[in-house]
Amino acid sequence: MDHKNMENHDHHMDSNQKQMSNMSKDDMSDMDMSSMDHGSMPMGHMNHGDMKKRLIICIFLMIPILLLTPMMGMKSSILHLPYQEIIVLIFGTIIFFYGGKPFFEGAKSELKNKKPEMMTLVTLGISVSYLYSVYSTIINMTGGHQMDFWWELSTLIVIMLLGHIIEMNAIMQANSSMTEMVKLLPHEAHLTSGKDIPINQVKVGDSLLVKENERVPADGTITSDKAMLDESMITGESSVVQKKKGQEVFAGSLNKNYPFELKVTVVGKDSYLSQVAKLVEEAQGKKSKAETMADKVSSWLFYAALIFAILALIIWSAINGLSYGIMMAVTVLVIACPHALGLAIPLVVSRTSTLAAKNGLLIQNREPLENVSKLKFALMDKTGTLTDGDFKVHDYMTFSKEFSQKDIAQIMAALEEGSTHPLAQALVEAVSDNSLKANNIENIPGVGIEGNISGKEYKIVNEKYLKENGINYNKIDNEDNLTVSYLISGNEVIGLATLGDKLKPQAETLIKELKNRGIEPVMLTGDNEKAAQKVASELGINDFRAQLKPEDKAKIVKEYQEKGNVLFVGDGVNDSPALATSDLSFAIGSGTSVAIAAADVILVNSNPEDIIKMLDLAKNSNRKMKENLWWGAGYNIIAIPLAAGVLAPIGIVLSPIVGAIIMSFSTVIVAINAMTLKV
């Protein structure tokens, strides 16, 4: 959907975006799971099933421990069995080593990277609890009386495993869009020879038949006269699209009324669905500022907890003995376990990704969304963003006795044959029967196109090209402010075509809502001054730039960045420099711009109102992240000193289990707060 700078009549297309291919369900499944980046989850190499198995086993072992050990200050256990100390020791040891393995691996990774964070802190807490409990059990079995922490240790590990399963579910939910893509592909493809083959055996050059109400099995080029396709599942566009011979189709599209044949163009990881999956994967692998902050807070918390635990151990051992000192130190380490902090950002990110997808938004880069409150300007293209980009030829004119209006129309259509540019398509569609064929066709970036017809050179250019090259031309009465494409031969203008576009119905709402949020809209276009002025006036845009080339836009973005943060909206093809330069960028159109990594967000439905939805969602998401960071770690400002016994002189002391309950409660609050996020 190359709508970018179409006013400049720039037909420059990225050839890489045309090389779409099919990808088998096996390939999609591999990408979905095996290449999913869980590096941000400090749980070693545990998969979801393994974590659930560990949790279930630990729960079964925890139950007898709870019944056979004193809890929450009680003097005796609920049940009394022979050799119960040995039973508790065995079950507790299994829970510690088997249930604690994910935390040990996570701590090992953190220490290897010299960045002790939450897993190191958790490992320190449960290790101290376990070693002291073993010591206490030995003392008790030899006739002494020593308090142990088996109850607290087993419940803490179970709580932590349960919390991390919740986190893994959240991240897997965020990745679910890739598994949903697998459903778009059929199991088999029909060769035109009559043979059916598995989807993963389709090769480049295969000729396939797509029957009625079947999904297209592979990206390719239509070889039949026409096809009627519903591409809503991959592009978000709800209307049925008519495709003609020679046009591209994407795997996953639904064939409606007419069986058609296609030739597979490319097989591999360049297909449309594969590119989307890759973007989702890369986006989820990137850490935002909020996630980085959560890691830093975890690190600070580790050192703070360690210092307070050591102080509590030394001071309370001197006052009440080693047993009491260890209990206070363990309490500090337990209550400081930052599991809620580990969930604080991933849960919000997961919820944000889900809501964005439901509203036709594909987030490629989350970090710029954390600065939406700083946006001052919204720079956007006219065509494709504010207008439909659905051009229609209004009129042809000839300025040479040698050429009639029909000649002008046929020459321009011949030059544009095969181009996917909206202006080009309009010129081709306006000529029903054209016997002319053009050769040696080349794009003129930011200008138009040139080619050879019957041994004669022709160019289709815009008005700015004529002025810059000193070519004389007749100015026409353009009261409707139409887009004008000039046809030249040599240095002589021999004719022109006027084309019109119309505003998108949502464009006015977009401009109004941007202004309501204190963001000044600026329209950028390669079209003439009058056409730009008309659109700007209709939409209430006070600032606009006309007759621009693609390279001008990045410079203008930098110009406005001197005054404040800039949002840029383009289609992701010719605007890549501007998209990359801006503080936050949106790419219009999911057909080809989804392959452009420069944009931060893809507007799948090409609906400008979705920009407002994303800004509001980002603002709400940022608020939830801040709230969760405070819930996940802020309570420790009070809890850690309290656990260390600061208020013990007045009778307020926290036990390890109370610390575990407080930690668990903060996790629940963080989860509920994230799930209440709305657009």
Instruction: Give the model confidence (pLDDT) of 454-494 as tens digits.
Output: 999 999 998 888 988 899 988 887 766 688 899 999 889 99
Integer Cα distance of 16 and 592 in angstroms: 10
The percent of residues above 90 in pLDDT, for the chain, comes to 22
CA nearest to 148, candidates 78, 65, 80: 65
Helices (H), 2-83: 15-18, 25-33, 48-68
The amino acid occupying position 112 is K
Integer Cα distance of 108 and 51 in angstroms: 18
Beta carbons of 504 and 523 less than 8 angstroms apart: no
Structure confidence at residue 86 (pLDDT): 92
Taking residues 654-677, what's their average pLDDT?
75
Structure confidence at residue 282 (pLDDT): 53
Beta carbons of 22 and 199 less than 8 angstroms apart: yes
Report residue 376's pLDDT band, with 50, 70 and 90 as the boundaries. very high
Most confidently predicted of 186-195, 386-395, 580-589: 186-195
Q: Pull the structure tokens for residue 253.
A: 């599209």
Beta carbons of 612 and 513 less than 8 angstroms apart: yes
Structure confidence at residue 671 (pLDDT): 81
Q: Pull the structure tokens for residue 668.
A: 């629940």
CA nearest to 317, candidates 674, 645, 545: 645
Active site residue 433: no
Structure confidence at residue 594 (pLDDT): 40
Q: Pull the structure tokens for residue 130.
A: 């376990």
The catalytic position among 381, 527, 575, 600 is 381
Calculate the CA 371 to chain-centre distance: 16
Report DSSP state, residue 360: T
* Domain segments of the chain as ranges: 21-34+181-269, 48-174+286-349+622-675, 361-388+503-606, 391-500
Structure confidence at residue 28 (pLDDT): 36
Integer Cα distance of 224 and 480 in angstroms: 39
pLDDT above 90 for 517: yes
Per-residue pLDDT tens for 558-587?
999 999 999 998 865 556 678 878 999 888
Question: Of residues 573 and 634, which shows the higher confidence score?
Answer: 634
Structure confidence at residue 81 (pLDDT): 79
CA nearest to 160, candidates 347, 344, 337: 337
Per-residue pLDDT tens for 145-185?
777 778 878 887 887 787 677 666 655 554 554 455 556 66
Structure confidence at residue 256 (pLDDT): 79
pLDDT above 80 for 383: no
Homologous superfamily of 361-388+503-606 in CATH? Answer: HAD superfamily/HAD-like (3.40.50.1000)
Homologous superfamily of 391-500 in CATH? Answer: Calcium-transporting ATPase, cytoplasmic domain N (3.40.1110.10)
Structure confidence at residue 1 (pLDDT): 32
- φ/ψ region of 492 (left if φ > 0, alpha if ψ in -120 to 50, else beta) reads beta
188-191 and 196-198 as β-strands: parallel, antiparallel, unpaired?
A: antiparallel
Beta carbons of 352 and 628 less than 8 angstroms apart: no
Report residue 209's pLDDT band, with 50, 70 and 90 as the boundaries. very high
CA nearest to 69, candidates 158, 126, 137: 137
Structure confidence at residue 21 (pLDDT): 32
The percent of residues above 70 in pLDDT, for the chain, comes to 77
266-267 and 21-22 as β-strands: parallel, antiparallel, unpaired?
A: parallel
CA nearest to 258, candidates 292, 216, 286, 196: 216
Beta carbons of 535 and 480 less than 8 angstroms apart: no
Q: What is the largest CA-CA distance in the chain?
A: 118
Report residue 603's pLDDT band, with 50, 70 and 90 as the boundaries. confident
Integer Cα distance of 128 and 330 in angstroms: 7
Looking at the DSSP bridge assignments, the partners of residue 210 are 260
Q: How many residues does the chain have?
A: 679
HSE, CB side, 13 Å, CA atoms: give it for residue 113. Answer: 14
* Average pLDDT along the chain: 78
Beta carbons of 584 and 378 less than 8 angstroms apart: no
Integer Cα distance of 627 and 137 in angstroms: 42
pLDDT above 90 for 239: no
- CATH pick for 21-34+181-269 out of 3.90.226.10, 2.70.150.10, 1.10.3720.10, 3.40.50.1100: 2.70.150.10
Looking at the DSSP bridge assignments, the partners of residue 484 are 498
Question: Of residues 521 and 287, which shows the higher confidence score?
Answer: 521
Q: Pull the structure tokens for residue 413.
A: 């259509």
Report residue 31's pLDDT band, with 50, 70 and 90 as the boundaries. very low
